[in-house]
Amino acid sequence: MTTAPSPLVPQPFPHQAPLLRVDGLTRHFTVSGTRIDVLHDCTFDVFRGEVVAIIGQSGSGKSTLLSLLGLLDKPSGGEYTFDGVATSRLGEGPRSRLRGEGIGFVFQQFHLLERRSALANVGVPLVLAGMPALRRRSRSRDLLEAVGLGHRLHSKPHQLSGGEQQRVALARALSRDPALILADEPTGALDAESSRMIMDQLLEQARIRDSAVVVVTHDPKVAERADRVVELVEGRTR
C-alpha cells in the first residue's frame, strides 16, 4: 500500500525525492571536558533547483550546519541523506567521493591559491578528479567565461577585485557540475554592487544546472532572493 503525501504539507516538488534530507541533526563539541551543544534539532529538506537561505544570529550554528551539509564534518546525532545516500555511517572514502562529485563550496574569504592564475585556480578540483590537462584548461576557460571573466584567465588573485576573486571561486565551485552549491556568507566581504553581481551569477548558474543552493547569509538582500529561508535559533531550525 502506498501512502499519499498529506495535502496539508506543502510539497514544493511533489514528484522528486529531496536532494538533501536533514533529519534531526545534532552537533556538540567537547572543550576542556565541557560539552557545548551547538545544533539541537535541525530538520529540513532541499530539492534540486531550490535556493535556500540560512539565517540566524552570530553563533547560532550556521557554519557548523553548513559543514555537516558539505560532508566536511559529521553530526553527533540524526541523519543526513545526500542524493539518496544516508551519510552518517559512511566511511571517509565514500564521503569524500560524494563531496568531490556532488558539492561545490563558496566561502566568504574566496580561498584562492595566491600564486596561481584564475585558470589554474578553477582547475584545482579537476586536477583532483584526474582530468587531463588540455580538457581541464578548456573547461576552466569555459567556466570563467560563464561568470564573465573570459578576459581575466591569466590574472592572479591579487590582480583581481574582491568581486572578481569571488567569481573565480564560484567558477571553481561549479567545475565538477555539483548537484549542490554551498555558500557561507559569499557576499560578506563585498560591496553592494559586487554582492548583487555574485548573487546574479550564483543563481543563474544554479538554474542552468538545476543545482540546489544553500547560502548562509546576514544580508537581507541575499535572503530575499532565496526560494525559502531556514532560520537557526540557538541551534534549532524553524
Ligand X SMILES: Nc1ncnc2c1ncn2[C@@H]1O[C@H](COP(=O)(O)OP(=O)(O)OP(=O)(O)O)[C@@H](O)[C@H]1O
Residue closer to Mg ion (CB basis): 62 or 167: 62
Joined together, the cell numbers standing for residue 57 give 544570529
Binding mask 34-63 for ligand X (x = CB under 6 A): --x-x-----------------x-xxxxxx
Quick check: 227 and 52 in contact, CB under 8 A? yes
Alpha helices in the chain (DSSP H): 62-69, 92-102, 118-128, 133-146, 162-174, 192-209, 220-223
67 contacts Mg ion (rule: CB under 5 A): no
All residues at 6 or more sequence positions from 101 whose CB lies less than 8 Å from its CB, including other chains: 129, 176, 178
Interface region with Mg ion, contact rule CB under 5 A, candidates 62-70, 120-128, 156-164, 199-207: 62-70
**How many residues of this chain interact with ligand X, rule: CB under 6 A?**
12
Residue closer to ligand X (CB basis): 56 or 70: 56
Residue 224 to residues 161, 230, 231: CA-CA distances in angstroms?
Answer: 25, 12, 13
CA distance 40 to 24: 8
CA distance 50 to 46: 7
Cell numbers 596561481 correspond to what residue?
116
CB of 172 to ligand X, least distance (A): 22
CB of 102 to ligand X, least distance (A): 22
Q: Which entry of Mg ion, ligand X, none binds 172, CB below 5 to 8 A by partner kind?
A: none
> Distance from first CA to last CA of the chain, Å, rounded?
32
Binding mask 16-35 for ligand X (x = CB under 6 A): -------------x-x----
Choosing from 43, 63, 67, 96, the residue that interacts with Mg ion (CB under 5 A) is 63
Residue closer to ligand X (CB basis): 68 or 122: 68
CA distance 224 to 53: 8
> Burial letters for 83-118: b for 16+ Cβ neighbours within 10 Å, e otherwise?
beeebeebeeeebeebbeebbbbbbbebebeeeebb
**How many residues of this chain interact with Mg ion, rule: CB under 5 A?**
2
CB of 226 to Mg ion, least distance (A): 17
CB of 33 to Mg ion, least distance (A): 25
CB of 235 to ligand X, least distance (A): 8
Cβ-closest position to Mg ion? 63
CB of 156 to Mg ion, least distance (A): 28
Residues 39-58 that bind Mg ion (CB under 5 A): none
Q: Which residues bind ligand X (CB under 6 A)?
A: 29, 31, 36, 38, 56, 58-64
